[in-house]
Each structure stands twice: as structure tokens, then as C-alpha cells.
Structure 1
Amino acid sequence: MKVFFPPPNRRLGPVDVLGLVGLTGLLIGRYVPVAKLIPFWGCILRETTGWPCLGCGLTRVADRVAHFNFIGAWEANPMGTVAALLFALAAVVMLLHMAFKMPVPEVQLSPREWTWVRVAFPILLFINYAYVVVKTKFPHLLT
């Protein structure tokens, strides 16, 4: 892994875009009760079959992370919580970058490291989904 630090600038980059998306999502999660305002909001798969989808719990994660309830967010969807916290970190980096010209490091992974990412991500996704299924359908197994 190689890390590069560009000269101070205010150019919009990928981390800034992710930070803007994260900031917008967390502000909506904090101040807009989306699940209560939109009548059709919810997981159609879960409502029809009783089984959760891969994204079940992400609205609760955004709401709980925005309200600093990290334990509740983790219980709703662990991988979603990690993603929400990374979006929040990107938002902080974006604000520092745009306000103070803080250089945003650029990370470059080797082909071997990318292979590890491509192998680990589906495994983590499977483990996360298994947790969400057990939490939804068989909660007595977690007590």
C-alpha cells in the first residue's frame, strides 16, 4: 500500500464527494423522519416473506448514527454502521479539506491487496447478512 499526500488544495475529489453524500445522509437521518413521512418506506422483501434483505436496517443505522446511538446502529446492521461511520469520517475530512486546504491522502493498493479486498468483502457481507437474518428471524439465538 502506498500513501501519497498532494499539495494543499481545494479541488473536489472522491473523498469530498463521499463526504458530501455522507453529510447529507446523516443530516437527513438526524432531522427528517423518512420512515414516518413516506408511506411505502420499508423492506418489501421482509414485509412479504418475513426474511430481511441485504440492506435491512440501513435506515435505522443512519438514524441511530446521526443520533450517536452506535450500539443500536450496530444491532440493526453492523456493516451498515461501519459504512455510516466511514461516511461521517469522510464528511469531517471533506470539511477540513475545503475549509483549510488540508491535503487528502491518496491510497494506492497493490494488485495483491486488491485481491484480498475482493475476497474479504463478500465474506464480510455474508457474515453481516447472516447476523441480520439471525437477529430478525431467530433473535433467541443471540441471547
Structure 2
Amino acid sequence: MKVTLPAPNRKFSLVDGLGLAGLVGLLVARYIPVAKIIPFWGCMLRETTGWPCFGCGLTRVADRVAHLNFSGAWEANPLGTVAALLFALLAVVAVLHMVFALPIPDVQLSPREWGWVRVALPIVILVNYAYVVVKTKFPHLLM
């Protein structure tokens, strides 16, 4: 892994865009009850089959993280909670970058490290999905 620190700047980057998306998403989750306002909001797969999809629990995660209920968010979807917290961190970094010209480190992974990411990420997603399925269909197993 190679990390470089550029000169202080205020150039809008991917980190700023993700931070802005995270900020907007968490503000909407905090102040607008989307699941109650939109009548068709919800997981169609879970409503028709009873089985959760890969994204089941993400609305609850956003709402609970926005209300600082981290344990409730973790219970709904652990990987979604990590993603929501990363979006919140990116929002803080984006504000610091745009207001104070804080340089954002440039991280470059080697081909071998990218290989590990390509192997680990699907495994993490499948383990998270297994947890969501067990939590939804077989909650007695988690007692």
C-alpha cells in the first residue's frame, strides 16, 4: 500500500462526493420518515417470500445511525452499519477538506492487495447476508 499526501487544496473529489451523499442521506434519515411516507417502501422479496434480500435492514440502519442508535443499527444489518458510519466519516472529512483545505491522502493498493480485497469483500457480504437471514428467519438461533 502506498499513501501520499497532496498539497492542501479544495478540489472536489470522489471523497467529497461520497461525503456529500452520506450527509444528505443521514439528514434525510434523521428528519424525514421515508418508510412511513412512501406507501410502497419496503423489501418486496421479504414481503412476498419471507426471505430477506441483500439490502434488507438498510433503511433501519440509516434511521438508527442518524439517531445515534448504533446497537440497533448493528442488529438490523452489520455491514450496512459499517457503511453508514463510513459515510458519516466521509461527510466530516469532506467538510474539513472543503472548508479548511485539509489534504485527503491518496491511497494506492498493489495488485496483490486488490486481489485480497476481491476475495474478502464477497466473503464479508455473504457472512453479513447469512446473519440477516438467520436474524429474520431463525432468530431463536441467535439467543
TM value normalised by structure 2 = 0.99
Cα distance between partner residues in 1 of 2:106 and 2:68: 29
Displacement of 1:130: 0.2
1:96 maps onto 2:91 in alignment: no
Cα distance between partner residues in 2 of 1:4 and 1:95: 20
Cα distance between partner residues in 2 of 1:107 and 1:14: 13
The one-letter code matched in structure 2 to 1:48 is T
Secondary structure of the residue that 1:54 maps to in structure 2?
A: coil
Secondary structure of the residue that 2:103 maps to in structure 1?
A: coil
Q: Cα deviations across residues 31-79 of structure 1 (Å, max 9, x unaligned)? A: 0000000000000000000000000000000000000000000000000
Q: Hey, what does 1:78 align to over in structure 2?
A: 78
Displacement of 1:119: 0.1
Q: Hey, what does 1:142 align to over in structure 2?
A: 142
| Segments ≥4 residues shifted beyond 4 Å | none
Q: Hey, what does 2:45 align to over in structure 1?
A: 45
Q: Hey, what does 1:58 align to over in structure 2?
A: 58
Cα distance between partner residues in 1 of 2:44 and 2:18: 27
Cα distance between partner residues in 2 of 1:65 and 1:136: 20
Q: Hey, what does 1:29 align to over in structure 2?
A: 29
The one-letter code matched in structure 2 to 1:103 is P
Mark the runs of 5 or more structure 2 residues left unpaired by the alignment.
none
Cα distance between partner residues in 1 of 2:41 and 2:30: 17
Displacement of 1:12: 0.3
The one-letter code matched in structure 1 to 2:95 is L
Q: Cα deviations across residues 82-138 of structure 1 (Å, max 9, x unaligned)? A: 000000000000000000000001100000000000000000000000000000000
Secondary structure of the residue that 2:85 maps to in structure 1?
A: helix
Cα distance between partner residues in 1 of 2:100 and 2:56: 38
Displacement of 1:29: 0.5
Identity within the alignment, %: 76
